[in-house]
Structure 1
Amino acid sequence: MMADDKSKAESLKVEGNKALQSGKIQEAVKFYSQAIQLDPQNHVLYSNRSAAYAKLGDYEKALEDGNNTVKIKPDWAKGYSRKGAALSFLSRYEEAKNTYEQGLKLDPNNQQLKDGLRDCEINLDKEKGLENPFAMPGVMDKLATDPRTKDMMKDPSYVSTIQALQKNPGLLGSKLNDPRVMTSLSVLLGVNLMTADDAGPMEPPSTSTRNSKPTSSKKKTEPEPMETDDITPDKKKAIEFKEQGNEAYKKKDFENAIEYYNKAIELDGTNVTFLTNKAAVYFEKGDFDECIKICEKAVEVGRENRADFKVLAKAFARIGNAYMKKDDLPSAIEYFNKSLAEHRTSDVLKKLTHIEKMAKEKERLAYIDPEKSLEEKNKGNEFFQSGDFPKALKCYTEAIKRNPDDAKLYSNRAACYMKLAEFSLGLKDCEDCIRLDPTFVKGYTRKGGILLALKEPSKAMVAYQKAIELDPKNQEAQSGYQKCIMAQSDDPEEVRKRAMQNPEVQQIMTDPAMRLILEQMQENPSALKEHLKNPEIAAKIQKLIDVGLIALR
């Protein structure tokens, strides 16, 4: 690279930094991209552009630049911070955690890396239990033997529903109103989703309140029974009414249960448990609004009387369960988080993580609108034809969000990426296009064009061949195929020079073991067959073939 180019790249980097600091993110990306074209081995440029892409919310590009930063400068801790942040934004927390740990090996005191690692660990902990419970081993046997679901297994419609959920967990959000599905989740998850963990007798009054008197320091080998001698007659009677309410609740005699709980509350209005038990009855009756109202009162009373954290957590969790039954997932998430803030339990954490996943999927599905997708696609086409590729890219991306199953949209966005020289992202879109519609010829020709631009003519030839199979008269495919042939028959010295610019090829060619293998292949071609049995060696030989350094006859 010429010294002048390096100087220009530095100037462009400075301009990019100014734009980034002033909030002109698109301009910053433009400056950094121009600088990279002049100085493609400058790791700082990729790092800065990664930060800019992250601010734009384009985390895939931010990750790509983070990868390039680490690849060029593997001993620079900042690169791992960029890569880890992009992975975290993409919810790839395990990979992000590993990346941050790699960076901390280089710079153990780096606060950004420490903070990133801590956030990843929190999110990983939160994600535990996100697997599809209906896809676990032995689901049918478990449902067939559990008393709550065994009779349901005789119903073909129920069995059909479970089988559908096994294949497609995304259906779960639409099935939550089916009490059979909620009962099944209770069985599979080991938590009682139907009655907000109050299916049996209600909890006894807590003696571990925040304002309780210090207990004796004498060591106890067993839990100390609740002292009743100092309890007032009214409170004793209230406890009796509560126990009667519990018995009525277990018999599903809800009207009497409510009456007993009301009597208990009249005698002792400071006991939060009486209120939460009463709320559980309304939950069972399906009166979720009343359940929420009573639980809110329970929290208010609990705050006034400094009730135990666990009691308040249960009240918040019951509100969350009620909102879940009302299909108000945002409110359910809010109250499950409030419950966890008071007291962290695995049951509530499992419910929260499942609901957050369902809410996210519900939001994604609600956003789908083929008509609006078409509008964005048409806007994108206009911008593309006028040469405004960044705006076209934005429109196509929005169109994909509105209709993610339209293969042609990915093809259109791939064309934008080609114009912007973002070949790896364009290639990914081509793969998605082909996955959605394996018969769409344009997907293969566009893929071939990107692979040619990436100097991989042998792979491009495969893509063009597939396009010709689908449409033998396709001129673009035939022309592309001919370009591949010409690219592979370039001047050998030029081929070698171009190939040796590839870091992966450089690594292969400087490996003493590989050089020995290549010499053996020249002296004894039959030795190749034996070497190809090793997958790692076979992959390296294929890479050398792809770049035109060697040819097999």
Structure 2
Amino acid sequence: MSLSADEYKQQGNAAFVAKDYDKAIDLFSKAIDVSEQPNHVLYSNRSACYTSLKKFVNALKDAEECVKINPSWSKGYNRVGAAHFGMGDLDEAEAGYKKALELDASNKAAQEGLEQVHRTQESRRGMPDMGLTQMFNDPNLIENLKKNPKTAEMMKDPQLVAKLIQYRSNPQAISQDLFTDPRLMTIMATLMGVDLNIGDLNSSNSMPSQQADATAPAATPAAEKEPKKEETPVKKEEPVVQADEPEQMDVDSNEDENAKKRAEAAKAEGNKLYKARQFDEAVAKYNEAWEAHNDITYLNNRSAAEFEKGDYETSIKTLEEAVEKGREMRADYKVIAKSFARMGNCYTKLNDLKKAIDFYKKSLTEHRTPEILSKLRAAEKQVKIQEAEDYINPEKAEEARLEGKDYFTKGDWPNAVKAYTEMIKRAPEDARGYSNRAAVLSKLMSFPEAIDDCNKAIEKDPNFVRAYIRKATAQIAVREFSSALETLDAARSKDAEVNKSANTREIDQLYIKASQQRFQPNDSNESPEQTYERAMKDPEVAAIMQDPVMQSILQQAQQNPAALQEHMKNPEIFKKIQTLIASGIIRTGR
């Protein structure tokens, strides 16, 4: 049965401490594979292992993935700096450590790493170049070595090729590497035109079998003119890793077991008291547990009891201590995430939602959970609601309405829309803002948006007849004739109820317009079959034709036209018959 990501991580930490870096890499890789969410800490830990093995390319790849997952985590940039330093890229290493210090000025590993970079930069500036920079920056360097019979075979080693590329930024580093990799001596001799007559060029352990042949070509003229200087091998500094080890396990194996037992016993008593809602007594027990053994879980528990008491300020202070101590103790990121989440809960209770959002985000950075993500979204939504409520101002709304009216009169539709939008924000319950904006949107031919605004106006004030009329006008414009007639029926009813039918003439004119255009044929010479097909696309006509009662009436009318006149005495039947006549399905005399 496979282990969890946390279990693999703890085993990887132990292997790192034991300096079994290959095993640690394997364990951190397994932790990465089984993690539900990308975990920046695991990539950071594996990067440290690669750096310790001087596999700087792999170390950089993991470091970059770490800061991609969590760009606000200072330690990730330590890993970036260390990997670049190991590759000899001092400018990039300097940038990495500076970014770490920008995020956390107290980052000791970054401070030491930056000092190390600066010392190396000074050392480089004081060393003679001897033409190495020009030699290793030759764009054809690798290709020329691959073509040369003396070096072609060894250039198949990608590690060696990568090392040669690194010398472009730090050519002096070869002075030390010549003593650990004799292949480099062959390459240097080849580049300088010297034949060392080395036996086995492919063996990394091979050494020159004899001195250069006396008949070998001399060095370049420039080299002959320069007096040979005695060089002292420069010790190459290694990137700082030890000061920035992977996160260790929370529990120190050498800690007094009796103290831990006392702490756990006190915590258990505290939990019982918490469940019994005896919060003061629970706080005392959690304090007792913390004093016996420093585990920030006890501080988190204490903060929960303080929260339930309603003492949110005290709870926040406890949680701040939990985070501070947790960082010092390299506590599990999930425990620290819980501390941040509870800070967010406290600030929510204090109605400081912006701070609550900040701490929910910090919690999610440490460990992402659906519960905290939901709380973050709810807090963000509430902030928007509060901002909208704070923005409400009836006086400003009236100013915006008059401004919109002025723009409308001038025919400046875009600015009229802006003014009425401002009115809506300042007075969201005033139906006039939505209705007025709908009138401007119709001028801009934005009929669907105008219909939406009319619906909002009617929702705010169901008796606002003007909103019904503007809605019907927009519906006619988009050829929603059946819906427009329904809207006009509602407008007529409301107008009679609240305005003593003051708008009857306007409503009737729109009704006639909708009715006439509703079934207007596209072709004056269309056949009866085409008329029927077009009419049946109208939802109301289709419903009438599918009504069993109407089907019976129409069948009777075919046999006895006089019977139709009798049925039309019923108002509902009359309306349906008139709709079928208007659609062309029932044809009257020519």
- With normalisation by structure 1, the TM-score equals 0.46
- With normalisation by structure 2, the TM-score equals 0.43
